Amino acid sequence: MSRIKQFDLPDLGEGLTEGEILKWLVQVGDVIELNQPIVEVETAKAAVEIPAKWGGQVQAIFHPEGATVEVGTAIIAIDTEPAAGPAAEPTGPVPAPSRSESPQPEIPPPGGAIEPGMIGGPAPGGRTAVLVGYGPRTTAAKRRPRRTVGELAQPAVPVAVSTGPLTAEPAPTEPAPAGPGPAGPAAKALAKPPVRKLARDLGVDLAGLRGSGPLGSVTRDDVLRASEQAGSAQAGSAAPLSGSDREQRIPVKGVRRLTAENMVASAFTAPHVTEFLTVDLTRSMKALDRIRSQPDWQGIKVSPLLMVARAMLLAARRHPLVNSTWAGDEIVVKEYVNLGIAAATERGLIVPNIKDAGRLTTRELAEAMADLVRTAKAGRTAPADMAGGTMTVTNVGVFGVDSGTPILPPGESAILAIGTIRKAPWVHKEKIRIRQVATLALSFDHRIIDGELGSAFLRDVGAFLTDPEAALLAWT
């Protein structure tokens, strides 16, 4: 068996079939350890770091950053016995050279002469491979500074990434000036993803530029210079801009694509009904202040969403049918609550859930919610944490709105939204008082939950928030 191993993009679970390479954490020529993170990949649900399957020396990297790769496709080649000397030349095209060598004209395609497989022997310290979010991260070797490269003109051919000059031919001794170039119809400009985005934002056609970077790659300065030249030309021209010159096109992929697919599937599968209830939260807000003042709660985030989540969990005990799933010829009533918390992130809206939230104490629930949101904001939510939700709560009030009509996550029967908590005139003890009020919006699957059940559930959530101490005494 060859000592050069081909590492395929692993199955990331939850039916995910592809991932986008966000960042390479190693370079050709690096010596790595077993379980050392080597690449950061974004799936349709989260961004995860993939650990090395073997220790050794990186021989080839097959895909550039920004490429979308299917599960099972080779992404990197590792020489598992670098101390034994130069590796035997494979029967197919040779791997990419190390950082000290010049690039070769050919590099091995995934599935070619490099053999998949594993090598024997435990890793130093007996560490085991983990995905971010599935368990504790192993301690990786200190990473070397990384220099990225742009996409190649022929994306179908595997890419070798190294820290040396990106050249398949001698680089020019002086940077070529940016400007219109002789790119043919099939040519694709060489540029890094941030440069491509800048060009799109400024309306600069990369295909028409001659870059000043390595191998003629287009740099940020080239794009800015071309934009300035175009602006000067337009200032002296009376020709109006076309509509397409002022449009931005955003690829729909990753979390945004999955969210869109799920929302369409849910909206046109489950018959949604939404009911609204405005409630007085003054007592709940005072209860939160008392909790925050307790020494045992110092450093724990205590928010109104915590009270809403606790109210939902208690109301679900009284109305278990709300926590169920429509399964065609039967309704599956869950005896546990995996409570989803909608979180807005840079990659889009995701809904991770707290497993068996009904068994947690209020303090444990607060800690779980804070950890869930923090992980989601960092883009490190594991796919397993977004599977199996049974009901969801979302706080639209953080966006400054009073209410909304939330759409059910697929497979769930109820989702509750809370709007902005405002001071408003309110009848309290037969007098007009200034109270803290908010509007609740409950959307539910009308195949399972009729108007009476949905109203009873929403009314009980509101009753808890209006007087949490009394509700706790009466319901528990």
Q: What is the mean pLDDT of the chain?
A: 77
pLDDT above 60: residue 413 = yes
Is 400 in contact with 364 (CB distance < 8 Å)? no
CA gap 32, 39 in Å, rounded: 12
Comparing 194-203, 249-258, 300-309, 399-408, which segment has the lowest mean pLDDT?
Answer: 249-258
- At residue 243, the pLDDT reads 63
Is 418 in contact with 396 (CB distance < 8 Å)? yes
SS (H, E, C) 178-222: CCCCCCCCCCCCCECHHHHHHHHHHCCCHHHCCCCCHHHCECHHH
**pLDDT per residue over 139-184, tens digit each?**
333 444 444 434 433 343 344 444 333 333 444 444 444 444 444 4
Does the annotation mark 446 as catalytic? yes
Is 101 in contact with 353 (CB distance < 8 Å)? no
pLDDT above 80: residue 202 = yes
pLDDT above 50: residue 121 = no
- At residue 115, the pLDDT reads 40
Q: How confident is the model at residue 234 (pLDDT cuts 50, 70, 90)?
A: low
- At residue 270, the pLDDT reads 84
CA gap 197, 199 in Å, rounded: 5
State phi, psi for 369 to the nearest 5 degrees.
Answer: -65, -45
Residue type at position 297: W
SS (H, E, C) 79-95: ECCHHHCCCCCCCCCCC
- At residue 156, the pLDDT reads 38
Greater model confidence, 229 or 302 = 302
Greater model confidence, 408 or 386 = 408
Based on C-alpha coordinates, what's the Rg of the chain?
A: 28
pLDDT above 60: residue 110 = no
Q: How confident is the model at residue 249 (pLDDT cuts 50, 70, 90)?
A: confident
Q: How confident is the model at residue 101 (pLDDT cuts 50, 70, 90)?
A: very low
pLDDT above 90: residue 11 = no
At a CB cut-off of 8 Å and minimum separation 6, what does 186 contact? Answer: none
Q: Point out the catalytic residue in the list 63, 272, 319, 446.
A: 446
Give the length of the chain: 476
- At residue 167, the pLDDT reads 38
Residue 162 per-residue DSSP state: -
pLDDT above 50: residue 185 = no
Domains of the chain: 4-126 (2.40.50.100), 171-238 (4.10.320.10), 254-475 (3.30.559.10)
Identify the helix (H) or strand (E) that includes residue 257. Answer: helix 254-267
